[in-house]
Amino acid sequence: MGSLGSWESHLQLSRHLTLMNIFDKAPVVDKDAFVAPSASVVWYGCVLRGDVSSIRIGSGTNIQDNSLVHVAKSNLSGKVLPTMIGDIMLLSVSHSAVLHGCTVEDEAFVGMGAILLLDGVIVEKNAMVAVGALVRQNTRIPSGEVWAGNPAKFLRKLTDEEIAFISQSAANYTNLAQVHAAENSKSFDEIEFEKVLLRKKFARKDEEYDSMLDVVPDNVLPDKAEKALKK
């Protein structure tokens, strides 16, 4: 880092590896999918660990902040179990959920902090795992049901409105991911140029405001800054 000189404290682009090979195996990401910069191969702070078996995530599925998706190699049954999340329809895995060697079918919903642990769990289409639930090994959650608690048990049937919400919520996240993808694809020059425009918009702000934006006069791109300030 020392060789970067005055730029040392002004680096803007993440050096984090979103996709990492495991020996001769590499993650396969569809060209239309968005992998957040701070994710380890799907939204911010997520980890998908597919080193001892495979993980498959279907189209329209969103894995939210700080979730962990893992696979199973050693268990009582002796089976190596992949984790399968969705196929072709909208599905949401909420914040800080843990999925381990399980299958979650299309248009299902996994609540915040839920743990689909102890391999072999199946969450059927249009089923919901409630916030903070712990689902035991080899449990099957039938379509149209809400399961909650520790250990998770049948709570009630989903209403038609709740089933519709599952798909709508997933669609909202899919649209939001496209916005994040566009922002994260910007180059260093584009980021710096937008800072100049932002500084012009809030021209009455003081030097402290500039420093919060990390806009330092010596580091503004001269050619673009001059054009921007003339507008």
- What is the domain-level CATH number for residue 6? 2.160.10.10
216 and 110 inside one domain? no
Q: Helices (H), strands (E): how many in the chain?
A: 4, 16
220 and 164 inside one domain? no
- The residue range of the domain holding 200 is 186-230
Domain termination site, one of 163, 183, 203: 183
More confident residue, 15 or 75: 75
Q: What is the rounded CA–CA span in Å between residue 102 and residue 74?
A: 14
57 and 35 inside one domain? yes
Residue 45 to residues 9, 40, 99, Cα–Cα distance (Å): 23, 7, 15
User: What's the pLDDT tens digit per position in 211-227?
Assistant: 665 655 544 445 544 55
pLDDT for position 42: 54
Specify the number of domains making up the chain. 2
pLDDT for position 174: 87
50 and 110 inside one domain? yes
67 and 148 inside one domain? yes
Read off the pLDDT band of 153 (50, 70, 90): very high
Q: What percent of the chain has pLDDT over 70?
A: 71
Q: What is the rounded CA–CA span in Å between residue 161 and residue 184?
A: 34
* pTM recorded for the entire structure: 0.71
Does an H or E element contain 210, and which? helix 207-213
135 and 219 inside one domain? no
